[in-house]
Amino acid sequence: MRILQQKLFLFACLLMGFGLSAQQLEHPMLVEVNSPSNLAGSYIYGFQSDWGPTSLAASVTGEAVWARTAVGDSISCDSVVNDLTGKIALVRRGACNFSLKALNAQTQGAIGCVICNSQPGGGVINMAGGTSGASVTIPTVMLSYEDCELLANAITAGDSVSMTFRKPAIANAVGTFAYGTPEDHIQTLDGINVDVINASASSASATVTAIVTDPAGATQTLTETLTIDADTTVNVTFTQTYTPVDTGMYQMAFFSSLANDTVFENFRITEHSFTLDEGDEDEFTWIGVTDQGFADAGYRFDMGNAYIAGPNGGSAAWASFALDNGSEFIGRFFDIILYDITGATGQDADYSTYRPVGAARHFITAADTLPNTIITDRLYDVYDGADTVVLTANTQYLLVVKYQGDSTIPTSPRFTYGGTGDFISLGSTVYTDRLYPGGFTGGYRPVIRLHQAAFMAGTAVTPVAQLDQNSLAVFPNPAKDYLNIQLSLEEQMDAQISLIDIRGQRLQEISLNGAQNQTEQININDLPAGVYFIRLATSEGIAVKEFIKQ
């Protein structure tokens, strides 16, 4: 996807929900189309992982042309026969490892290589090298199927496509906790940061500037001055902070005295909605995993967005998400769970250390089948059953939309997203074979939104007292026939254990007198498969654990 609003790409953490690998380049790199003018701009790409060059000595600019083998294909698993001297080679994904494709292009004189994803809607992935990785010296990137089609169509039309790989002077700006934040949850932005690159052969003094423009046109300037060693990238965090005031659109412009590059980041203060997506339905598209990857993960695919409650706390009442292919899932359900993720490390492999606080379940109907339809459901509080969920002040939450399918529908859900970029907060998450904090490569922003009830905006809410999360454990998890519930209380007290479904219905209850350290067992054999909660309530507070019934 070409980056809109003059945004430079931002590196996200992970690739397509499967595996984590290191960026080979030791500095940010831009992949730009220079011409034709209607395609000009910076593009999101997947990078070389532990193979290829570690640094660009200089910008690489050349005409983008297809690499061809003797049989005329552009897969490039066999020797390339056309002269690519001074060119940037375009090759198709598939049939062999990435490094072999790049090496075959390099052998014919290519100065750079673009590998085109063969999966429509598959975005980009970071590329493992394979057997030829040690021999590749040219920068190699992956572009999405859709972006490559733009280039291919221009070439077919007779246009010369010029591309550049280069070090920017500034990149990877991170300015806000979310794209949209309710005015009741405004936070002071105290972690605004950006990468600054000195691409020269000598150290240089740099002034780094961020100018924030509010909805009324007033500006505030943040600056940092530092010396950067030759051929070095430094992450600069501004010591000055910025606090939004009014609802509306804000723009951050980041630039460095070392060059003319500028990064723009927008954000919005809303009336009552948290969003990561940029809200422009004309720009909505989708992100997903391949059907094979979906099957390999046991037909599991979740996406989530992280949001931070404001200094006064508050409540949330509604959750929204959108699918591109809702018509594939009529009659199936998606579970929506809001977690308190206090203590999240960014390396968590599952949700087990997160505390569920709100939930809903949505069955897909005919009304949800148009691509990118916004689906909205009321959340309930898993602690007290209320139809609003308490948000604790200055606490980070993760709103997750979960889907557990089976082989009868082998197609992965395609979650709608709008815009790209990273945040000071966790941002987005993906769950396939495990949890991947940070989400997909490219910083895709899913349409997964959290809303206040409009009539409750600004109303104080008293949180329910909480027990230590170690006071309650459930096992095995997932469970099939029986579930063990282990209590670890500091002293004897009366307690009530409740089994609650995703819609907030209490299915079983156990009352205990003088409970302390003990294990109870319940029969769950007759429960339908899905997500459930065990709720422990005492005079000292409440604890909740989530489990999956197989």
Residue-level pLDDT, tens digit, the chain, 550 residues? 323 222 222 223 333 333 334 567 767 788 999 999 999 988 988 888 888 888 887 789 999 999 999 998 999 999 999 999 999 999 999 889 999 999 999 999 999 999 999 888 777 878 887 888 899 999 999 999 999 999 999 999 999 999 999 888 888 899 999 999 999 999 999 999 999 988 888 999 999 999 999 999 999 999 999 999 988 889 999 999 999 999 999 999 999 999 888 889 999 999 999 999 998 887 788 888 888 889 999 999 999 999 999 999 999 999 999 999 999 999 999 999 999 999 888 889 999 999 999 999 999 999 999 999 999 999 999 988 888 899 999 999 999 999 999 999 999 999 999 888 889 888 899 999 999 998 886 778 899 999 997 633 444 445 567 888 889 999 999 999 999 999 999 999 988 898 988 877 888 989 899 999 999 999 999 999 888 999 898 888 888 898 988 8
Report pLDDT for 66. Answer: 96
pTM of the entire predicted model? 0.76
Q: Please provide the CATH number assigned to the domain covering 469-549.
A: 2.60.40.3080
Q: Compute how many other C-beta atoms are within 10 angstroms of the C-beta atom of residue 423.
A: 24
pLDDT at 463: 58
* Amino acid sitting at position 369: T
Architecture of the domain whose range is 170-270: Sandwich (2.60)
Q: Provide the token pair at 239.
A: 């010591």
pLDDT of residue 13: 30
* pLDDT number for residue 458: 40
Enumerate the domain spans of the chain. 30-166, 170-270, 273-456, 469-549
Instruction: Tokens for 292, please give them.
Output: 């094979």
Q: Is CATH 1.10.3470 the classification given to domain 273-456?
A: no
Question: What's phi and psi for 98, nearest 5 deg?
Answer: -65, -40
Q: Which two tokens stand for residue 318?
A: 């509604």
Position 420 scores a pLDDT of 82
Asked if 273-456 and 469-549 have one fold, the answer is no
> What pLDDT score does 461 carry?
46
Scored b (16 or more CB within 10 A) or e, 30-65 reads: bbbbbeeeebebbbbbbbbbebbbeebeeebbbebb
Whole-number CA gyration radius for the chain: 25
CB 436 within 8 A of CB 14: yes
Cβ contacts of 211-218, under 8 Å, gap ≥ 24? 211/252, 211/253, 212/242, 212/250, 212/251, 212/252, 213/250, 213/251, 213/252, 213/253, 214/244, 214/245, 214/246, 214/248, 214/250, 215/246, 215/247, 215/248, 215/249, 215/250, 216/246, 216/248
The CATH number corresponding to 30-166 among 3.50.50.60, 1.10.620.20, 3.30.360.10, 3.50.30.30 equals 3.50.30.30
